[in-house]
């Protein structure tokens, strides 16, 4: 797998150190299933994902595309 780096200043992710102002090797990265972007934050939310968000958790406020991804889901009114 290709090495990825995370900027300690802004959290941006890149495959080369020179593209970041304060790079450090990324310990965990995820590939967004909606936009394909590699992100260091598993809570990454992109425009295509926002369009598919349908539920909010009444316990913690987390958003999800499916009710079974939340402990206390409530449908977001359209």
Per residue in 38-68, pLDDT tens? 777 777 788 888 889 999 999 888 888 999 9
| Confidence band of 76 (pLDDT split at 50, 70, 90) | very high
Query: pTM score > 0.85 for this model?
Result: no
Burial (CB < 10 A; 0-12, 13-18, 19+), residue 38, is: middle
């Amino acid at each position: 797998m290709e090495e990825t780096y995370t900027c300690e200043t802004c959290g941006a992710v890149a495959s080369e150190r020179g593209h970041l102002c304060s790079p450090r090797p990324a310990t965990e990265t995820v590939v967004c299933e909606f936009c394909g972007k590699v992100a260091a934050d598993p809570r990454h939310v992109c425009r295509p994902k926002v369009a598919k968000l349908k539920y909010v958790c009444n316990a913690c406020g987390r958003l999800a595309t499916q009710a079974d991804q939340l402990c206390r889901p409530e449908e977001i009114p359209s």
